Structure 1
Amino acid sequence: MGKLSEAAVFYAKFAGKVLPEAYRQRSLAREELRQCLPVSPVRRDTIQEDSFTGRFSVKKACCFLFSMCPGTDARDMLSFVLSLHSIDEYLEMYRKKKDIRDEKEIRDLLGCLSAAVDPSAKLSCKLPDAGMRCQAEQSKNRKVAMCQAEQCRLKLAVLPSYRHVASVVGKYMQMYIEMQSYRHYPAIISTDLLRTWSSVYLKRFQDISWWELCAASDTFLGISAMFAAASVADITEEEVLLLDEFCFPWLSGLCSLLDSLISARMSLNAEELNFSSFYKNLRECEERLIFFAENAESACRRLKGSSLYLLITKAAAGLYVSDPEACFGMLRLAILNMISKTSLRLHRNAGLLLRTFRLL
């Protein structure tokens, strides 16, 4: 099968099967969550309507791409990805509502995410103490997070090769939580904390900057890839190692930096760190994105089934560069240069079609 035909089949499956199934799984998750909360009536904000309505973000859609890997049960994987993102969104909403910025409190809050990807650990979702009048609401909030965490754990526990990827998944989640615990201080403080935190990891990843490592940590892409890998009964340790090298920092960094760059103009919170803002200028950012794309492709070629992983890489980038926000001002020129130098034109057009048909 030629590359064009292979890409056509890939996108037809993504548009015709994966995304519709993802919307169906989201509806099912909403009903399951309602059943999980016996108290009636359930307040609308308790189940966080935003997680169950509207079109999917590119960040989630990129994770969905791994459901097309051989041996992966698409329904289970999509359900897992949706539940994991929903927990994260719910806890972030809670953090903002309570204005939680302390490192330890954030670690405690996000401990629920850690338990969600570790079926062997005790399931615990701690929320900061509330006053007596808020205890009933707090109990319900904790129940919401625990219900969704349990869904994640059940999906992971039955994967035939989860034991082979468990340590990598745990590493990705640990880095995600650590990075989040430092990023919500005032910018001057959080920058110093993140720089110090990342220095330990940069001894291994010497080709990237501290903010690029932070960006690579700020995504569930690697966890999604490992879920798909764990669906294969006879996967080897070497295959897991090569997949880890592909996902982190290259694929995760590429997608997370694209997300930061393209969302910068519309960011509603000027205090939130945007990792693309640490580059000297847009040209440097463009060059580094190309660097990440090239390294992701190079690492991809060492994988078993490399042609599919290469399609996933280019499709993920294509979903970002087809975002309407990528068409403004000087950013448009940088994105067009990147598309040209990394052969993304076909994949950008595919992303535009998905948006035209309102699938994203």
Structure 2
Amino acid sequence: MDTIAAPHVPEHPISLMRDIYKKILPEVHLQLDIWKRKAERIPDAELRHQALASMTSKQFHCEGGGVYALVARPDRLPSVVRFIVAYQTISDYLDNLCDRSVSLDEANFRQLHQSMIDAVTGTFSIDNYYQLQANQEDGGYLRALVQTCHDTLALLPNYDLYKDNIRTLCELYCDLQVYKHIALDKREQALHTWWEKHRERFPELEWYEFAAATGSTLGIFYYVALASYEEGTEDLNDTVFDVYFPYIQGLHILLDYLIDQKEDREEGDLNFCFYYPSKEEKLQRIEWITRQARKKASQLPNAPFHRMMVEGLLGMYLSSPKVKEQDDVLQISRHLLKRRKLSTWFFFLNAWYIHRKGRKI
């Protein structure tokens, strides 16, 4: 699977939505039900609460990430979904734990997130991920999630080709999660220092755009789907990284931060959209990243699928009820949606309908 597109991968909005509802959501919900039953048996009340809360409030993360399993070889789609749900569940669970931490301990956050690195490297590098955490008794829940990632990745014939880039994306994600959760007076300096190590490779980005791009797991999910094929080349490996990081991943997280500005301002939470010097520059930069994401997507096999991912991100986030609650975000949203492709409006209306039904996406 180098430059030859897989014929089963949907390349039109209607076929994409059909496959999501028919092939992806049932598998995702099956896996989530398994993990919910395991989470209900966690001995520690706080860990149990956070594990269950993460799957309830962030279920849409697994559903959205699961879409990438449509790229996988059809007979390996269930394995790819199983990995995506397990890995994303680790991510959301740890995010909840760090959000509610009172210690704000960098070493603790680092140790917890080592589980994500272990998940993609086939190891258990430490015995107890909770060693520096006040609450520790999870009944083996986190290790079971990591083990499931190991088991599913072992079934994919070409994982070794992509594993180094997957680890890089994973480590960047973990770095972000550590730095964004430490004490407020240390947070920005830590993020700047981290950026200095990477800015030479990404001179076109601002530090907060780089940080945002590290916060997405989409690139990892696409790599894992590709690993289900025996075919693959180093050129494809490099191209995927350059397309997804920073452009598609950056667009993903910047849109998320864009619509959350009011909420984050009220709660005093970190939001990378706050760092743009003006509303005009915020619009110009997000618009530029959108153009780059769409343009770069054309370099990939099944390019229409990846362009639909870009349009889908716009439609999903900009259809949120949060947009209308913020005049500046509404103006930016209207500008970003102006002259968009029909597929963007298809995804916008689909997501808008789901919002109207009361589902969170």
TM-score interval (norm. to shorter) = 0.7 to 0.9
Q: CA deviation at 1:16?
A: 3.6
The answer (yes or no) to whether the contact 2:311–2:347 under 8 Å persists in 1 is yes
Residue 22 (structure 2) pairs with residue 22 (structure 1): no
TM-score, structure 2 length as denominator?
A: 0.86
1:81-139 CA distances to partner (integer Å, 9 max, x unpaired)? Answer: 22222222333333345423232232122111111111145464421446xxx7xx62x
Number of the residue aligned with 1:62: 64
Q: Match for 1:206 among 198, 203, 208?
A: 203
Secondary structure at 2:294 match in 1 = helix
Q: What corresponds to 1:127 in structure 2?
A: 130
Alpha-carbon distance in structure 1 between the residues aligned to 2:288 and 2:324: 22
Deviation at 1:176, TM superposition (A): 1.2
* Distance change >3 Å, CA 307–CA 89, structure 1 → 2: closer
CA distance change for structure 1 residues 155 and 251 in 2, over 3 Å: closer, same or farther? same
Pairwise CA RMSD: 2.7
| Secondary structure of the corresponding residue to residue 245 of structure 1 | helix
Rounded Cα–Cα distance in structure 2 between residues aligned with 1:31 and 1:198:
40
User: Does structure 1 retain, via aligned residues, the 8 Å contact 2:12–2:304?
Assistant: no
CA contact (8 A) 2:287 2:336 kept: yes
| 1:170-319 paired onto structure 2 within 5 Å | 170-267=167-264, 270-319=267-316
Cα pair distance change 1:178/1:55, threshold 3 Å = closer
| 1:28 partner SS | helix
Partners of 1:142 and 1:250 in 2: CA distance: 39
Matches of 2:193 and 2:257, distance apart in 1: 21
What is residue 88 of structure 1 aligned with on the other side? 91
Q: Report SS of the residue matched to 1:117.
A: helix
Unpaired runs of 5+ in structure 2?
1-6
The AA in structure 2 aligned to 1:147 is A
Instruction: Work out the CA distance in 2 between the residues paired with 1:354 and 1:326.
Output: 15
Q: Show the counterpart of 2:80.
A: 77
- What is the match of residue 350 of structure 1? 350
AA aligned opposite 1:127: Y
2: CA distance between counterparts of 1:210 and 1:109?
25
Quote how far apart the aligned CAs of 1:143 are. Answer: 1.9
Structure 1 residue 6 and structure 2 residue 12: aligned? yes
**Structure 1: gaps of 5 or more residues:** none
**Equivalent position SS for 1:159:** coil
Please give the secondary structure, in 1, of the residue aligned with 2:54: helix
Contact kept? 2:321, 2:355, Cα under 8 Å: no
Conserved? CA contact 1:261–1:276, under 8 Å: yes
Deviation at 1:208, TM superposition (A): 0.8
> In the superposition, relative to structure 1, how do residues 5 and 128 fare at CA in structure 2: closer, same or farther (>3 Å)?
closer
Amino acid at match of 1:332: L
Q: Does 1:107 align with 2:110?
A: yes
Is the Cα contact below 8 Å between 2:55 and 2:92 reproduced in 1?
Answer: no
Contact kept, 8 Å, 1:251 with 1:313, in 2: the verdict is: yes
The answer as to whether partners of 1:255 and 1:316 remain within 8 angstroms in 2 is: yes
The percent of aligned pairs where both chains have the same amino acid is 19
Q: Secondary structure at the match of 1:146?
A: helix
1:340 is matched with: 338
Aligned residues: 347
Encode CA deviations 1:10-48: one digit per residue, 9 max, x unaligned: 11222343223322221122235568x6x7xx8585262
Q: Equivalents in 2 of 1:332, 1:201: separation in Å?
A: 33
Q: CA deviation at 1:269?
A: 7.0
Q: CA deviation at 1:339?
A: 1.1
The one-letter amino acid paired with 1:118 is T
Classify 1:160/1:123 alpha carbon distance in 2 versus 1 (closer, same or farther; 3 Å): farther
Change (3 A) 1:356 1:251: same
Inter-partner Cα distance in structure 1 for 2:298 and 2:99 = 41
1:331 partnered with 2:334: no
Distance in 1, Cα, partners of 2:189 & 2:339: 34
Contact 1:83 1:151 in 2 (8 A): yes
Q: Output one character per residue of 1:254-302: Cα deviation in whole Å (capped at 9) or x when no partner.
A: 0000001112222387343111110122222121111111111111111
Partner of 2:152: 155
How far apart, in 1, do the equivalents of 2:357 and 2:20 lie?
13
CA distance in 1, matches of 2:180, 2:45: 31
- The answer (yes or no) to whether the contact 2:11–2:305 under 8 Å persists in 1 is no
